[in-house]
A and B are shown apart, each in its own frame.
Chain A
Amino acid sequence: MSIRIACSEKNIADDAVTELKNIFGATPLKMIVYFASSDFVPQEISATMQQVFAGATVFGCTTAGEIISGRMLKGAVVAMAFDEESISEVRVEVLENLSKMMAVNEAFCSFGKYFGESMDSMDPSQFFGIVLVDGLSGAEEQLMDTIGDKTNITFIGGSAADDLKFSSSHVYANGKAYSDAAVLAVLKPGTSFELIKTQSVSPLGARLVVTKANAEQREIVEFNRKPASVAYAEALGVPVSDLATCFPRHPLGLLIEGEPYVRSPREIAGDSVFFNCSSVDGMELTLLEASDLVGDTKAALDCVLEKLGSISGVVVFNCVYRAIELDKKNLADEYARLFADYPTIGFNCYGEQFIGHINQTATMIVFR
């Protein structure tokens, strides 16, 4: 069984993909997942990847930085190749026009036909899903909510990014580049796997109940029946004028059986606070404090290594906020080294998916 990785720092799609092809060689491949800098022309990189790896199922997305075993990159393309033994079956569907409609039913019917069993009866220990979604679509919550209603298998992934330009991000499949879209892949690996959600935050005491929200805009108008910015600042014990500077260190989280599902604040507008993830009326959010990102991630990987015994591949969906924090603290190399012993690819994303849509988190697929 073989899971292999490759990267190229060439900035022309043809050259970069040729380099990947040379690294992977002539072995027949079943599936290729890739993450490419938004510096590449989207149509070119997607068409070239599909053309060069014509026999494989090929999909990916744009990034805000790429990850490969032991290194964090900028302006590159990273890819992971799976042979027939490492992936038994895979099927990809693209959901277009996410902001207008969410054709999850059609995609799930197609998965059902391909795998010979309906999505609501698939065994989560045998199957999982990857979701790559346009990170500027604002559609992740509804997408994950709809998916979750229809299946017990876990969908994990990340929101495509565009190197913090906030202009356009793309998902790739079928040799095409799509905006306002999501790529869904359902996989039956040829080996056991574990899915990780890790975030480096600790709950502080304060609770903020959402009493008025505009979920579609990811806006919270009121906490505890007070203007959101005022209640948030009070919980931190700082003046509202200092609140925004506290955002990276003190996001909020929905605690579910002690496990945080992080909501990262983005900006203050008037009395409202806008987040990178929506909350609805009645949700009780907990004030969080950032903790040891490198140490927590290592602990999560070590725990899975102990469960699986060995690791043949890791796909990392790493929040861009985590990447920014690592850069600020000069810890990016130390973080990258956590993955040095495992064939790993990943990217810095505009949101992470694990059951729902979350922020300031790393979600990971780990293959034995």
Chain B
Amino acid sequence: MAGKIKLMIDDIIARRAKGNEIMVKAMKTKLVLKGINPDKYTIRSEDDQAIIGKLEKILQEL
């Protein structure tokens, strides 16, 4: 399977930033500091359970 990480990242950024550009940047920064660089994932990126687990934890807080 592929693409789940990209979809989850987009979902997190959209829900947290609500279109605010400053918040988009802050959320991307938080993800990079967790070791998840949003720019490196595309719809073709392989699903990695370790990364998905980290993203699920963030989604639980939303």
Residues of chain B within 8 A (CB-CB) of A148 are: 30, 33
CA distance A120 to B60 in the complex (A): 12
Q: Contacting A145 at CB < 8 Å: which of B16, B26, B34, B37?
A: B34
In contact, B26 and A154 (Cβ under 8 angstroms): yes
Q: Taking the complex as formed, is A149 at the interface, i.e. its CB lies under 8 A from any CB of chain B?
A: yes
Taking a contact as CB atoms under 8 Å apart, the answer to whether A150 and B28 are in contact is no
- Provide the residues of chain A in CB contact with B33, threshold 8 Å: 144-145, 148, 254, 256, 261, 355-356
**How many A residues are at the interface, by size bracket?**
20 to 34
What chain B residues lie within 8 Å of A257 (beta carbons)?
A: 25, 28-29
Please determine whether B35 and A120 come into contact, CB atoms closer than 8 angstroms. no
Contact B35 A280 (CB under 8 A): yes
Assuming A120-B61, A149-B61, A256-B28, is B23 touching A281 (CB within 8 A)? no
Q: Of A152, A154, A254, which is in contact with the most chain B CB atoms at under 10 Å from its CB? A: A152
Per the bound structure, the CA–CA distance linking A154 and B26 in Å amounts to: 9
* Chain A: CB-nearest residue to B57: A149
Q: Which residue of B lies closest to A150 (CB)?
A: B61
Please indicate the chain A residues that have their CB under 8 angstroms from the CB of B37 in the complex.
Answer: 284
Cβ–Cβ contact B35 & A356, under 8 A = no
Q: Is A282 within 8 A of B32, CB to CB?
A: no
Smallest beta-carbon distance B19→chain A, Å: 13
Is A295 an interface residue, CB under 8 A from the partner?
Answer: no
Q: Is A12 an interface residue (CB 8 A)?
A: no
Q: State whether A355 touches B28 (Cβ < 8 A).
A: no
> Does A238 reach chain B (CB closer than 8 Å)?
no
Instruction: Scan residues 30-62 of chain B and give those whose CB is less than 8 A from a CB of chain A.
Output: 30, 32-35, 37, 57-58, 61-62
CB nearest to A281 among chain B residues: B35
Is A55 interfacial (CB-CB < 8 Å)? no
Besides A261-B29, A281-B35, A355-B29, 4 other CB < 8 A contacts? A124-B23, A152-B16, A256-B32, A256-B33
Shortest 5 CB-CB distances between A and B: which pairs? A280-B35, A356-B33, A148-B30, A149-B61, A256-B32
List 19 A–B pairs whose Cβ atoms lie within 8 Å, in order of A's numbering.
A124-B22, A124-B23, A144-B33, A148-B33, A149-B30, A149-B58, A254-B32, A254-B33, A256-B29, A256-B33, A257-B25, A257-B29, A261-B32, A279-B35, A280-B34, A280-B35, A281-B35, A284-B37, A355-B29
Footprint of B on A, CB under 8 Å? 120, 124, 144-145, 148-150, 152, 154, 254, 256-257, 261, 279-284, 355-356
